[in-house]
């Protein structure tokens, strides 16, 4: 049975979308979704371009508000920015949470998105696997 992970950020346009795509592409048996505390409503074009180049873009990825996912059954919540970590909302049932913060590449060059991708892949994936293995 698949484990479900929610990746939470502020705008849900860069970091959380990248993390969602990497988790879905690289971790077997784990399904990720992402959402924003204050969703921007759009995916950053550099984030989309990067994920397309990596071959892991999915047209279902979009910036969404928390209301779209709050009633789903998640096994783990991952916050990837400090604001989301500090303002993480209450969910209808208790869900384990971990925080792994990354600098926001929004407004920076494409290289910043590549660096964020590498950091998320190297730092976040092992922590998600470890947290889920302890459940």
**Enzyme catalytic residues:** 9, 81, 88
| Pair 7, 32: CB distance under 8 Å | yes
Euclidean distance between CA atoms 112 and 106, whole angstroms: 8
Q: What is the chain written as a DSSP string?
A: --EEEEEEESSSSSHHHHHHHHHHHHSTTEEEEEEETT--SS--HHHHHHHHHTT---TT----BGGGTTTS--SEEEE-SHHHHHTPPPPSS---EEE------TTS-HHHHHHHHHHIIIIIHHHHHHHHHT-
């Amino acid at each position: 049975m698949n484990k479900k992970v929610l990746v939470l950020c502020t705008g849900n346009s860069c970091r959380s979308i990248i993390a969602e795509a990497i988790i879905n592409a690289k971790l077997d048996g784990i399904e990720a979704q992402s959402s924003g505390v204050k969703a921007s409503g759009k995916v950053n074009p550099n984030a989309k371009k990067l994920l397309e180049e990596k071959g892991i873009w999915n047209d279902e990825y979009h910036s969404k508000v928390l209301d779209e996912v709050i009633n789903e059954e998640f096994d783990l919540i991952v916050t990837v920015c400090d604001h989301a970590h500090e303002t993480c909302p209450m969910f209808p049932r208790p869900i384990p949470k971990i925080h792994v913060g990354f600098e926001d590449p929004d407004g920076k060059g494409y290289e910043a998105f590549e660096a964020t991708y590498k950091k998320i892949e190297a730092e976040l994936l092992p922590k998600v696997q470890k947290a889920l293995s302890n459940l």
